[in-house]
């Protein structure tokens, strides 16, 4: 049994035809959904790449693993999906992006070298790396955003694309009418075709790398295939660049009520540059067709992968998971990017095609249970035949749902966001540690708590599924708020760091100390079994030396 764990970056939950998109046809996603189960209430642990991914890859909440924003290193020694799967006898490989920042200080403190097997896994979030490319080869006055080597740029140069950074100059740029480069960083260029042969663009390249991996791999394996797309820059090569147009762009999901005395943290997001940009209809009409084209390309490349699995007879022995690290506001709620907790940002596609007959009863169904991204680590451990170490992994296996069971399940999902490195923290005059948000959603009510002395935000998705009306304004709905704070308090007290003792370890250690001579309970020995008061300590005591 193998696991193909495919992640698309910044793919909204509702930009798939199986999820109801009116214009975007994604037959390959739909095919996996038809052969598997689509989870319709799946949420990320943080709506930002790095933090979200560290939760996917550890099965732990962001405030449990501590890598709470992009570039915050995952501390050395944190248990990962790879650690757990290898223990269960399954390799765990990376093909693509992780956004992992290695804990270089921690590794140095423990004497770990990156070129050792142990050190490399520590530096790569527990994966063995088939190919790693985070796909953000930004370059500016201070150099490259990502200081690692770029296998994709190396590939492009080998194909004849010139320069230091063909990722930027070709794969993510178009061409002006006058022949100048038209940067994909500028939304005005989003309707131009990227200046690259389609088969050389990022998504086909990574798909080819995946096929190369599959063709040489020995089962059982887990491969994390991690596409950078449809993440910005919003530009896509022909023929995808003009498949969609203004008539395919949905009206923005926003309401004037959202601008009426908004919560201070939300307001600071509404005032950001990205929000201002995506509040412009011309920007949306440029970006969204490109975004859809990128998704369409992902779907076609998924078709390549599925066909390859079929052709090599591996379809029945492979669990396929399709998901994303967060969504994309695309102008909804007067916002752009992700970074906040409306459904467009925090909800993700989650399609799981279970292998073998265990999942036959649920093929083609949907499940509306409250799923968290951390559940995948637990799911994969169970699928690999391991036992989920629930003192480390905070997620829960989805396998019972795939088997058609109706397990006791969580009552709420949690997502977090640390905006300490963002301009919003500065604007609000907060210290970094207070720039933290917590979302709790119980399936109906969604509350967002902000540290730093702010009131919460509350949405009722039953009466207001579009999340336009913040019910916490004017100190309203206090009973719901109190109830959700009580749950949040319970979550805050969760057992998350006792990673060195399992529940079973603890049961096994009970009552052992008495049989090892620790007996602070005796007046005269009658309190304990006679065998425990025997003199097990060797020869009889010598003469009292103390008073001799």
Instruction: Return the residues of window 422-441 that contact its own copies according to CB under 8 A.
Output: 422-423, 425-426, 431-433, 436, 438
Interface with its own copies, residue 300, by CB under 8 A: no
Choices 69-77, 315-323, 440-448, 463-471 (CB under 8 A): range interacting with its own copies: 69-77
Q: Is-contact 455 263, C-beta < 8 A?
A: yes
Q: Which of 120, 211, 315, 488 binds its own copies (CB under 8 A)?
A: 488
Residue 403 CB, nearest approach to its own copies (Å): 24
Neighbours of 535 (CB within 10 A): 8
Rank residues 139 and 468 by Cβ distance to its own copies and give the closer one. 139
Interface with its own copies, residue 39, by CB under 8 A: no
Q: Which of 261, 310, 360, 503 binds its own copies (CB under 8 A)?
A: 503
Strand ranges, E, within 312-430: 318-324, 347-348, 350-353, 365-367, 371-372, 413-418
Choices 211-219, 244-252, 289-297, 510-518 (CB under 8 A): range interacting with its own copies: 510-518
Tell me the C-alpha distance between 248 and 284, whole Å.
11
Q: Which of 148, 188, 356, 444 binds its own copies (CB under 8 A)?
A: 188
Here the tokens at position 309 are 């699995």
Interface with its own copies, residue 501, by CB under 8 A: yes
Here the tokens at position 124 are 């790569």
Q: Is-contact 3 223, C-beta < 8 A?
A: yes
Residue 141 CB, nearest approach to its own copies (Å): 5
CA 84 to chain centre: 17
3-state secondary structure of 428: coil
Nearest to 449 by CA among 488, 492, 480, 477: 488
Interface with its own copies, residue 507, by CB under 8 A: yes
Rank residues 134 and 467 by Cβ distance to its own copies and give the closer one. 134
Interface with its own copies, residue 237, by CB under 8 A: yes
Rank residues 17 and 533 by Cβ distance to its own copies and give the closer one. 533
3-state SS, 49-92, equals: HHHHHHHHHHCCCHHHHCCCCCCCCECCCCCCHHHHHHHCCCEE
> Under rule CB under 8 A, which residues in 321-340 are in contact with its own copies?
336-337
Interface with its own copies, residue 510, by CB under 8 A: yes
Residue 413 CB, nearest approach to its own copies (Å): 16
Rank residues 342 and 391 by Cβ distance to its own copies and give the closer one. 391
Rank residues 171 and 320 by Cβ distance to its own copies and give the closer one. 171
Q: Which of 14, 91, 128, 198 binds its own copies (CB under 8 A)?
A: 198
Interface with its own copies, residue 547, by CB under 8 A: yes
For residue 309, CA distances in Å to 2, 172, 226, 304 come to 11, 30, 18, 9
Total length of the chain:
548
Interface with its own copies, residue 463, by CB under 8 A: no
Strands of the sheet containing 371-372, edge to edge, are 347-348, 42-43, 371-372
What stretch of H or E contains 33? Answer: helix 27-35
Residue 5 CB, nearest approach to its own copies (Å): 22
Q: Which of 25, 27, 116, 368 binds its own copies (CB under 8 A)?
A: 116
Q: Which of 4, 16, 19, 67 binds its own copies (CB under 8 A)?
A: 67
Residue 195 CB, nearest approach to its own copies (Å): 5
Here the tokens at position 366 are 């949907």
> Under rule CB under 8 A, which residues in 384-423 are in contact with its own copies?
391, 418, 420-423
Rank residues 217 and 532 by Cβ distance to its own copies and give the closer one. 532
Neighbours of 391 (CB within 10 A): 18
Handedness of CA 15, 232, 272, 55 (dihedral sign): positive
- What angle is formed at CA 300 by the lines to CA 133 and CA 293, rounded to 5 degrees? 80
> Under rule CB under 8 A, which residues in 250-289 are in contact with its own copies?
273-274, 277, 280, 282-283, 286
Interface with its own copies, residue 148, by CB under 8 A: no
Residue 310 CB, nearest approach to its own copies (Å): 29
Q: Is-contact 415 43, C-beta < 8 A?
A: yes
Residue 36 CB, nearest approach to its own copies (Å): 32
């Amino acid at each position: 049994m193998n696991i193909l764990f495919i992640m698309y970056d910044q793919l909204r939950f509702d930009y798939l035809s199986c999820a109801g998109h009116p214009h975007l046809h994604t037959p390959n996603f739909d095919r996996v959904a038809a052969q598997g189960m689509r989870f319709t209430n799946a949420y990320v642990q943080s709506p930002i790449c790095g933090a979200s991914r560290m939760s996917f890859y550890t099965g732990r909440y962001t405030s449990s693993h501590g890598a709470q924003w992009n570039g915050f290193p995952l501390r050395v020694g944190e248990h990962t999906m790879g650690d757990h799967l290898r223990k269960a006898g399954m390799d765990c490989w990376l093909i693509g992006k992780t956004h992992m920042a290695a804990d270089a200080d921690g590794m140095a403190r423990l004497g770990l070298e990156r070129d050792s097997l142990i050190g490399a896994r520590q530096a790569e979030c527990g994966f063995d790396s088939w190919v790693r490319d985070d796909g953000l080869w930004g370059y500016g006055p201070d150099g490259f955003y990502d200081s690692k080597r770029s296998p994709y740029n190396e590939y492009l140069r080998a194909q004849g694309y010139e320069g230091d950074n063909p990722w930027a100059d070709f794969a993510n740029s178009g061409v002006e009418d006058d022949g100048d480069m038209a940067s994909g960083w500028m939304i005005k260029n989003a309707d131009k075709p990227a200046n690259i042969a389609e088969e050389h663009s990022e998504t086909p390249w990574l798909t080819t790398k995946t096929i190369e991996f599959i063709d040489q791999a020995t089962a059982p394996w887990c491969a994390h295939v991690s596409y950078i797309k449809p993440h910005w820059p919003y530009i896509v090569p022909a023929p995808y660049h003009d498949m969609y147009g203004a008539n395919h762009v949905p009206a923005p999901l926003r309401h004037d009520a959202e601008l009426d005395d908004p919560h201070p943290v939300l307001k600071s997001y509404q005032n950001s540059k990205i929000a201002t940009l995506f509040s412009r209809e011309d920007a949306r009409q440029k970006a969204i067709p490109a975004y859809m084209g990128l998704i369409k390309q992902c779907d076609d490349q998924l078709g390549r992968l599925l066909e390859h699995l079929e052709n090599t007879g591996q379809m029945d022995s492979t669990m396929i998971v399709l998901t994303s690290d967060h969504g994309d506001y695309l102008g909804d709620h007067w916002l752009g990017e992700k970074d906040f907790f409306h459904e467009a940002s925090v909800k993700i596609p989650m399609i799981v095609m279970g292998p073998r007959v265990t999942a036959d009863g649920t093929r083609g169904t949907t499940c509306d249970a409250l799923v968290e991204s951390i559940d995948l680590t637990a799911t994969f451990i169970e699928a690999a035949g391991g036992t989920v170490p629930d003192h480390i992994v905070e997620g829960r296996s989805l396998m019972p749902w795939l088997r058609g069971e109706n397990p006791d399940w969580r009552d709420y999902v949690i997502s977090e966001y640390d905006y300490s490195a963002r301009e919003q923290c500065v604007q609000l005059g907060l210290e970094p540690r207070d720039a933290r948000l917590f979302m709790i959603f119980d399936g109906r009510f969604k509350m967002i708590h902000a540290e730093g002395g702010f009131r919460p935000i509350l949405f009722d998705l039953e009466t207001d599924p579009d999340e336009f009306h913040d019910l916490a304004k004017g100190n309203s709905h206090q009973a719901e708020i109190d109830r959700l704070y009580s749950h949040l308090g319970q979550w805050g007290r969760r057992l998350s760091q006792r990673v060195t003792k399992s529940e079973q370890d603890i049961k096994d250690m009970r009552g052992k100390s008495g049989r090892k001579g620790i007996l602070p309970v005796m007046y005269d020995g009658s309190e304990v079994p006679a065998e425990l008061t025997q003199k097990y300590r060797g020869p009889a005591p010598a003469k009292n030396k103390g008073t001799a």
